[in-house]
Amino acid sequence: MAGSGTLSAFRLPPLPTIREIIKLFRLQAAKQLSQNFLLDLRLTDKIVKKAGNLTDAYVYEVGPGPGGITRSILNANVAELLVVEKDSRFIPGLQMLSDAAPGKLRIVHGDVLTFKVERAFPESLKRQWEDEPPNVHIIGNLPFNVSTPLIIKWLENVSCRDGPFIYGRTQMMLTFQKEVAERLTANTGSKQRSRLSIMAQYLCNVQHIFTIPGQAFVPKPEVDVGVVHFTPLVQPRIEQPFKLVEKVVQNAFQFRRKYCYRGLGMLFPEVERVESTGKLLELADVDPTLRPTQLSVSHFKSLCDVYRKMCDEDPLLFAYNFREELKQNKSKNQEKEDDQEKHRL
Ligand code: SAM
Protein backbone atom coordinates (compact mmCIF):
# COMPACT_ATOMS: atom_id res chain seq x y z
CA MET A 1 0.00 0.00 0.00
CA ALA A 2 1.28 3.47 -0.82
CA GLY A 3 2.31 5.79 1.95
CA SER A 4 0.79 9.24 2.27
CA GLY A 5 2.54 12.59 2.63
CA THR A 6 4.70 12.54 -0.53
CA LEU A 7 6.74 15.72 -0.55
CA SER A 8 7.78 16.07 -4.19
CA ALA A 9 5.17 16.10 -6.99
CA PHE A 10 4.92 12.82 -8.89
CA ARG A 11 4.79 12.72 -12.71
CA LEU A 12 4.47 9.60 -14.82
CA PRO A 13 7.52 8.97 -17.04
CA PRO A 14 7.05 9.20 -20.84
CA LEU A 15 4.71 6.38 -21.92
CA PRO A 16 3.13 5.19 -25.17
CA THR A 17 -0.03 7.20 -25.95
CA ILE A 18 -3.45 5.72 -25.09
CA ARG A 19 -4.00 5.18 -28.84
CA GLU A 20 -0.73 3.17 -28.97
CA ILE A 21 -1.77 1.20 -25.86
CA ILE A 22 -5.07 0.33 -27.54
CA LYS A 23 -3.18 -0.90 -30.61
CA LEU A 24 -0.44 -2.66 -28.64
CA PHE A 25 -2.85 -4.68 -26.48
CA ARG A 26 -5.57 -4.96 -29.18
CA LEU A 27 -8.15 -3.19 -27.04
CA GLN A 28 -10.88 -2.62 -29.63
CA ALA A 29 -13.95 -1.29 -27.82
CA ALA A 30 -16.50 -4.04 -27.12
CA LYS A 31 -19.83 -2.70 -28.38
CA GLN A 32 -21.85 -4.99 -26.10
CA LEU A 33 -20.01 -3.47 -23.09
CA SER A 34 -20.72 0.09 -24.35
CA GLN A 35 -17.04 0.96 -24.23
CA ASN A 36 -16.14 4.49 -25.37
CA PHE A 37 -12.63 5.67 -24.59
CA LEU A 38 -11.22 9.10 -23.86
CA LEU A 39 -7.88 9.47 -25.63
CA ASP A 40 -7.37 13.21 -25.17
CA LEU A 41 -5.33 13.65 -21.99
CA ARG A 42 -6.27 17.35 -21.79
CA LEU A 43 -9.88 16.23 -21.29
CA THR A 44 -9.01 13.55 -18.75
CA ASP A 45 -6.85 16.15 -16.91
CA LYS A 46 -9.86 18.48 -16.87
CA ILE A 47 -12.13 15.80 -15.33
CA VAL A 48 -9.54 15.08 -12.64
CA LYS A 49 -8.77 18.75 -11.93
CA LYS A 50 -12.47 19.51 -11.46
CA ALA A 51 -12.76 16.62 -8.98
CA GLY A 52 -10.90 18.80 -6.47
CA ASN A 53 -7.47 18.82 -4.83
CA LEU A 54 -6.26 15.22 -4.98
CA THR A 55 -2.89 15.74 -3.26
CA ASP A 56 -2.33 12.74 -0.99
CA ALA A 57 -5.85 11.52 -1.76
CA TYR A 58 -7.04 7.92 -1.95
CA VAL A 59 -8.89 7.60 -5.21
CA TYR A 60 -11.19 4.83 -6.43
CA GLU A 61 -11.49 4.84 -10.21
CA VAL A 62 -14.32 2.77 -11.66
CA GLY A 63 -13.84 1.33 -15.16
CA PRO A 64 -10.32 2.59 -16.05
CA GLY A 65 -10.27 0.83 -19.46
CA PRO A 66 -7.12 1.80 -21.40
CA GLY A 67 -6.19 4.22 -18.60
CA GLY A 68 -6.62 7.83 -19.84
CA ILE A 69 -8.28 9.12 -16.65
CA THR A 70 -5.99 6.79 -14.67
CA ARG A 71 -2.91 8.65 -15.96
CA SER A 72 -4.39 12.03 -15.07
CA ILE A 73 -5.21 10.82 -11.55
CA LEU A 74 -1.68 9.45 -11.06
CA ASN A 75 -0.27 12.82 -12.18
CA ALA A 76 -2.42 14.60 -9.55
CA ASN A 77 -0.04 13.53 -6.78
CA VAL A 78 -2.41 11.08 -5.10
CA ALA A 79 -1.35 8.78 -2.26
CA GLU A 80 -3.01 5.76 -3.83
CA LEU A 81 -5.22 4.95 -6.79
CA LEU A 82 -7.36 1.84 -6.74
CA VAL A 83 -8.90 0.86 -10.07
CA VAL A 84 -11.61 -1.76 -10.62
CA GLU A 85 -11.97 -3.02 -14.19
CA LYS A 86 -14.27 -5.79 -15.38
CA ASP A 87 -12.72 -6.48 -18.77
CA SER A 88 -9.52 -8.52 -18.35
CA ARG A 89 -8.10 -7.26 -21.68
CA PHE A 90 -7.25 -3.96 -19.96
CA ILE A 91 -5.24 -5.44 -17.10
CA PRO A 92 -1.82 -5.68 -18.89
CA GLY A 93 -2.02 -2.02 -20.01
CA LEU A 94 -2.93 -0.97 -16.47
CA GLN A 95 -0.07 -3.12 -15.14
CA MET A 96 2.28 -1.09 -17.34
CA LEU A 97 0.98 2.09 -15.67
CA SER A 98 1.44 0.50 -12.27
CA ASP A 99 5.09 -0.25 -13.11
CA ALA A 100 5.54 3.40 -14.09
CA ALA A 101 4.07 4.59 -10.77
CA PRO A 102 5.58 2.23 -8.20
CA GLY A 103 3.41 1.66 -5.10
CA LYS A 104 0.68 4.05 -6.28
CA LEU A 105 -1.68 2.00 -8.43
CA ARG A 106 -3.66 -0.99 -7.17
CA ILE A 107 -5.49 -2.96 -9.88
CA VAL A 108 -8.53 -5.10 -9.20
CA HIS A 109 -10.04 -7.24 -11.92
CA GLY A 110 -13.68 -7.10 -10.75
CA ASP A 111 -17.12 -5.58 -10.95
CA VAL A 112 -17.83 -2.14 -9.46
CA LEU A 113 -21.40 -3.20 -8.75
CA THR A 114 -20.19 -5.73 -6.18
CA PHE A 115 -16.71 -4.48 -5.19
CA LYS A 116 -16.50 -3.49 -1.50
CA VAL A 117 -14.49 -0.28 -1.44
CA GLU A 118 -15.34 0.15 2.24
CA ARG A 119 -12.67 -2.45 2.99
CA ALA A 120 -10.07 -1.08 0.57
CA PHE A 121 -8.64 2.05 2.18
CA PRO A 122 -7.03 2.64 5.59
CA GLU A 123 -9.34 3.15 8.59
CA SER A 124 -7.39 6.30 9.45
CA LEU A 125 -9.04 8.10 6.52
CA LYS A 126 -12.44 7.99 8.22
CA ARG A 127 -14.00 11.35 9.10
CA GLN A 128 -17.12 12.21 11.06
CA TRP A 129 -20.08 12.83 8.74
CA GLU A 130 -20.31 16.45 9.91
CA ASP A 131 -16.60 17.09 9.23
CA GLU A 132 -15.08 18.21 5.95
CA PRO A 133 -15.18 15.38 3.34
CA PRO A 134 -12.43 12.76 3.73
CA ASN A 135 -9.50 12.67 1.31
CA VAL A 136 -11.22 9.84 -0.57
CA HIS A 137 -12.62 10.41 -4.06
CA ILE A 138 -14.49 8.32 -6.60
CA ILE A 139 -13.89 9.10 -10.27
CA GLY A 140 -15.17 7.24 -13.29
CA ASN A 141 -16.28 7.17 -16.87
CA LEU A 142 -18.48 4.07 -16.91
CA PRO A 143 -20.88 2.78 -19.57
CA PHE A 144 -24.26 4.50 -19.21
CA ASN A 145 -26.05 1.23 -18.42
CA VAL A 146 -23.79 0.84 -15.36
CA SER A 147 -23.50 4.45 -14.16
CA THR A 148 -27.24 4.97 -13.54
CA PRO A 149 -27.89 1.84 -11.39
CA LEU A 150 -24.57 2.50 -9.67
CA ILE A 151 -25.48 6.07 -8.69
CA ILE A 152 -28.82 4.85 -7.28
CA LYS A 153 -26.95 2.23 -5.24
CA TRP A 154 -24.42 4.83 -4.05
CA LEU A 155 -27.16 7.31 -3.16
CA GLU A 156 -28.68 4.63 -0.95
CA ASN A 157 -25.18 4.14 0.54
CA VAL A 158 -25.03 7.92 1.20
CA SER A 159 -28.35 7.74 3.07
CA CYS A 160 -27.09 4.78 5.17
CA ARG A 161 -23.54 6.20 5.46
CA ASP A 162 -22.11 2.86 4.39
CA GLY A 163 -20.30 1.49 1.30
CA PRO A 164 -17.91 4.19 -0.03
CA PHE A 165 -19.40 6.60 2.54
CA ILE A 166 -18.05 4.67 5.50
CA TYR A 167 -15.12 7.15 5.22
CA GLY A 168 -17.48 10.14 5.55
CA ARG A 169 -18.85 12.38 2.81
CA THR A 170 -16.77 10.86 -0.02
CA GLN A 171 -16.98 13.00 -3.17
CA MET A 172 -17.72 11.56 -6.61
CA MET A 173 -17.00 12.72 -10.14
CA LEU A 174 -18.86 10.58 -12.66
CA THR A 175 -19.93 10.74 -16.28
CA PHE A 176 -23.47 10.17 -17.54
CA GLN A 177 -25.32 10.45 -20.79
CA LYS A 178 -25.92 14.25 -21.06
CA GLU A 179 -29.71 13.87 -20.60
CA VAL A 180 -29.15 11.91 -17.38
CA ALA A 181 -26.67 14.55 -16.13
CA GLU A 182 -29.35 17.17 -16.80
CA ARG A 183 -31.96 15.14 -14.93
CA LEU A 184 -29.64 14.70 -11.95
CA THR A 185 -29.18 18.46 -11.64
CA ALA A 186 -32.58 19.73 -12.88
CA ASN A 187 -34.25 22.50 -10.86
CA THR A 188 -37.88 22.56 -9.73
CA GLY A 189 -40.14 23.31 -12.69
CA SER A 190 -37.67 22.38 -15.41
CA LYS A 191 -38.54 19.95 -18.18
CA GLN A 192 -35.79 17.52 -17.11
CA ARG A 193 -37.01 17.35 -13.52
CA SER A 194 -37.43 13.66 -12.65
CA ARG A 195 -37.12 10.96 -10.02
CA LEU A 196 -33.30 11.14 -10.31
CA SER A 197 -33.30 14.91 -9.59
CA ILE A 198 -35.02 14.41 -6.23
CA MET A 199 -33.13 11.28 -5.24
CA ALA A 200 -29.75 12.93 -5.92
CA GLN A 201 -30.53 16.41 -4.63
CA TYR A 202 -32.08 15.42 -1.31
CA LEU A 203 -28.83 13.70 -0.37
CA CYS A 204 -26.08 15.56 -2.23
CA ASN A 205 -24.91 18.81 -3.60
CA VAL A 206 -24.98 17.89 -7.31
CA GLN A 207 -23.28 19.90 -10.04
CA HIS A 208 -23.17 19.36 -13.79
CA ILE A 209 -19.57 20.49 -14.23
CA PHE A 210 -19.20 20.35 -18.01
CA THR A 211 -20.27 18.48 -21.11
CA ILE A 212 -17.97 16.41 -23.31
CA PRO A 213 -19.08 16.21 -26.94
CA GLY A 214 -19.61 12.66 -28.19
CA GLN A 215 -16.88 13.08 -30.80
CA ALA A 216 -14.24 13.27 -28.05
CA PHE A 217 -14.72 9.51 -27.48
CA VAL A 218 -13.49 6.56 -29.49
CA PRO A 219 -15.72 5.08 -30.78
CA LYS A 220 -18.11 8.05 -30.76
CA PRO A 221 -21.28 7.36 -28.70
CA GLU A 222 -24.71 8.46 -30.00
CA VAL A 223 -24.94 11.16 -27.33
CA ASP A 224 -22.88 13.81 -25.53
CA VAL A 225 -21.60 13.11 -22.04
CA GLY A 226 -22.16 15.11 -18.84
CA VAL A 227 -19.56 15.18 -16.07
CA VAL A 228 -21.28 15.40 -12.69
CA HIS A 229 -19.84 16.08 -9.23
CA PHE A 230 -21.55 14.91 -6.03
CA THR A 231 -20.80 15.94 -2.44
CA PRO A 232 -23.04 14.30 0.17
CA LEU A 233 -24.87 16.86 2.33
CA VAL A 234 -24.18 17.00 6.08
CA GLN A 235 -27.94 17.08 6.66
CA PRO A 236 -30.06 15.22 4.08
CA ARG A 237 -32.94 17.39 2.95
CA ILE A 238 -35.37 14.53 3.65
CA GLU A 239 -34.81 12.54 6.82
CA GLN A 240 -36.66 9.33 6.06
CA PRO A 241 -35.44 5.87 4.96
CA PHE A 242 -34.17 5.78 1.36
CA LYS A 243 -36.72 3.15 0.29
CA LEU A 244 -39.60 5.25 1.59
CA VAL A 245 -38.39 8.36 -0.23
CA GLU A 246 -37.84 6.28 -3.37
CA LYS A 247 -41.39 4.95 -3.21
CA VAL A 248 -43.00 8.37 -2.78
CA VAL A 249 -40.85 9.90 -5.54
CA GLN A 250 -41.38 7.00 -7.93
CA ASN A 251 -45.15 7.16 -7.48
CA ALA A 252 -45.26 10.95 -7.82
CA PHE A 253 -43.48 10.75 -11.19
CA GLN A 254 -45.61 7.86 -12.41
CA PHE A 255 -47.76 10.23 -14.48
CA ARG A 256 -45.38 13.12 -15.07
CA ARG A 257 -47.77 15.18 -17.24
CA LYS A 258 -50.75 14.86 -14.89
CA TYR A 259 -51.44 16.65 -11.60
CA CYS A 260 -49.33 15.21 -8.79
CA TYR A 261 -52.32 13.78 -6.88
CA ARG A 262 -52.75 11.24 -9.69
CA GLY A 263 -49.38 9.51 -9.17
CA LEU A 264 -49.31 10.00 -5.40
CA GLY A 265 -52.73 8.32 -5.23
CA MET A 266 -51.05 5.10 -6.32
CA LEU A 267 -49.44 4.91 -2.87
CA PHE A 268 -52.86 3.84 -1.54
CA PRO A 269 -55.22 0.88 -2.14
CA GLU A 270 -58.10 1.65 -4.46
CA VAL A 271 -60.80 1.54 -1.74
CA GLU A 272 -59.22 4.37 0.23
CA ARG A 273 -57.35 6.13 -2.62
CA VAL A 274 -59.36 9.36 -2.86
CA GLU A 275 -59.60 9.89 0.87
CA SER A 276 -55.97 8.99 1.73
CA THR A 277 -54.48 10.99 -1.13
CA GLY A 278 -56.51 14.01 -0.01
CA LYS A 279 -55.27 13.54 3.56
CA LEU A 280 -51.62 13.17 2.43
CA LEU A 281 -51.70 16.32 0.32
CA GLU A 282 -53.59 18.36 2.91
CA LEU A 283 -51.33 17.43 5.82
CA ALA A 284 -48.23 17.96 3.67
CA ASP A 285 -49.64 21.29 2.52
CA VAL A 286 -49.04 20.47 -1.15
CA ASP A 287 -51.28 21.80 -3.92
CA PRO A 288 -52.79 18.69 -5.62
CA THR A 289 -52.78 20.44 -8.99
CA LEU A 290 -49.02 20.90 -9.15
CA ARG A 291 -47.34 18.71 -11.77
CA PRO A 292 -44.67 16.30 -10.43
CA THR A 293 -41.97 18.42 -12.10
CA GLN A 294 -43.16 21.46 -10.09
CA LEU A 295 -42.62 19.76 -6.72
CA SER A 296 -39.57 21.00 -4.81
CA VAL A 297 -37.41 18.86 -2.53
CA SER A 298 -39.14 20.49 0.44
CA HIS A 299 -42.53 19.48 -0.98
CA PHE A 300 -41.18 15.94 -1.13
CA LYS A 301 -39.88 16.26 2.43
CA SER A 302 -43.40 17.11 3.68
CA LEU A 303 -44.96 14.34 1.57
CA CYS A 304 -42.47 11.75 2.87
CA ASP A 305 -42.91 12.87 6.50
CA VAL A 306 -46.72 12.58 6.28
CA TYR A 307 -46.59 9.29 4.33
CA ARG A 308 -44.24 7.93 7.03
CA LYS A 309 -46.82 8.79 9.71
CA MET A 310 -49.55 7.13 7.65
CA CYS A 311 -47.36 4.00 7.31
CA ASP A 312 -46.73 3.98 11.06
CA GLU A 313 -50.53 4.06 11.63
CA ASP A 314 -51.20 1.32 9.04
CA PRO A 315 -48.38 -1.27 9.03
CA LEU A 316 -49.63 -2.81 5.76
CA LEU A 317 -49.49 0.44 3.82
CA PHE A 318 -45.79 0.51 2.95
CA ALA A 319 -45.95 -2.95 1.35
CA TYR A 320 -48.90 -1.91 -0.84
CA ASN A 321 -48.13 -2.02 -4.57
CA PHE A 322 -50.81 -0.75 -6.94
CA ARG A 323 -49.50 -2.90 -9.82
CA GLU A 324 -50.15 -6.06 -7.78
CA GLU A 325 -53.66 -4.84 -6.97
CA LEU A 326 -54.26 -4.22 -10.69
CA LYS A 327 -53.02 -7.71 -11.52
CA GLN A 328 -55.27 -9.30 -8.88
CA ASN A 329 -58.28 -7.29 -10.07
CA LYS A 330 -57.61 -8.37 -13.63
CA SER A 331 -57.44 -12.06 -12.74
CA LYS A 332 -60.61 -11.76 -10.59
CA ASN A 333 -62.43 -10.14 -13.54
CA GLN A 334 -61.17 -12.88 -15.83
CA GLU A 335 -62.48 -15.56 -13.41
CA LYS A 336 -65.86 -13.79 -13.29
CA GLU A 337 -66.04 -13.65 -17.09
CA ASP A 338 -65.09 -17.36 -17.32
CA ASP A 339 -67.86 -18.25 -14.81
CA GLN A 340 -70.45 -16.23 -16.73
CA GLU A 341 -69.35 -17.92 -19.95
CA LYS A 342 -69.75 -21.37 -18.33
CA HIS A 343 -73.28 -20.53 -17.14
CA ARG A 344 -74.24 -19.34 -20.60
CA LEU A 345 -73.18 -22.66 -22.13
N1 SAM B 1 -12.34 5.12 -18.24
C2 SAM B 1 -11.98 4.77 -19.61
C3 SAM B 1 -11.98 6.01 -20.48
O4 SAM B 1 -12.53 7.03 -20.04
O5 SAM B 1 -11.45 5.94 -21.58
C6 SAM B 1 -12.93 3.71 -20.16
C7 SAM B 1 -14.34 4.14 -20.32
S8 SAM B 1 -15.46 2.93 -20.95
C9 SAM B 1 -16.89 3.95 -21.23
C10 SAM B 1 -16.02 2.07 -19.50
C11 SAM B 1 -15.06 1.12 -18.85
O12 SAM B 1 -15.72 0.54 -17.74
C13 SAM B 1 -14.61 -0.02 -19.73
O14 SAM B 1 -13.25 -0.24 -19.57
C15 SAM B 1 -15.42 -1.22 -19.21
O16 SAM B 1 -14.78 -2.45 -19.42
C17 SAM B 1 -15.52 -0.87 -17.75
N18 SAM B 1 -16.67 -1.48 -17.06
C19 SAM B 1 -17.91 -1.65 -17.55
N20 SAM B 1 -18.71 -2.20 -16.62
C21 SAM B 1 -17.96 -2.39 -15.53
C22 SAM B 1 -18.22 -2.93 -14.24
N23 SAM B 1 -19.43 -3.38 -13.91
N24 SAM B 1 -17.20 -2.99 -13.36
C25 SAM B 1 -15.96 -2.52 -13.69
N26 SAM B 1 -15.66 -1.99 -14.89
C27 SAM B 1 -16.65 -1.92 -15.80
ipTM score of complex:
0.99
> What are the residue ranges spanned by the domains of the chain?
18-232, 242-328
Fold of 242-328: Helicase, Ruva Protein; domain 3 (1.10.8)
pLDDT at 2 over 50: no
- For residue range 289-325, list pLDDT tens digits in order: 999 999 999 999 999 999 999 999 999 999 999 999 8
Report the 3 state secondary structure along the chain.
CCCCCCCCCCCCCCCCCHHHHHHHCCCCCCHHHCCCEECCHHHHHHHHHHCCCCCCCEEEEECCCCCHHHHHHHCCCCCEEEEEECCHHHHHHHHHHHHHCCCCEEEEECCCCCCCHHHCCCHHHCCCCCCCCCCEEEEECCCHHHHHHHHHHHHHHHHHCCHHHHHCCCEEEEEEEHHHHHHHHCCCCCCCCCHHHHHHHCCEEEEEEEEECHHHEECCCCCCEEEEEEEECCCCCCCCCHHHHHHHHHHHHHHCCCCHHHHHHHHCCHHHHHHHHHHHHHHHCCCCCCCHHHCCHHHHHHHHHHHHHHHHHCCCCCCCCHHHHHHHHHHHHHHHHHHHHHHHC
Q: From the CA of 65, how far away is ligand 1's center (Å)?
A: 5
pTM of structure: 0.92
Whether residue 112 has its Cβ less than 6 Å from ligand 1: yes
Whether residue 283 has its Cβ less than 6 Å from ligand 1: no
Whether residue 246 has its Cβ less than 6 Å from ligand 1: no
- For residue range 87-112, list pLDDT tens digits in order: 999 999 999 999 999 999 999 999 99
| CATH 3.40.50.150 applies to domain 18-232 | yes
314 labelled ligand-binding: no
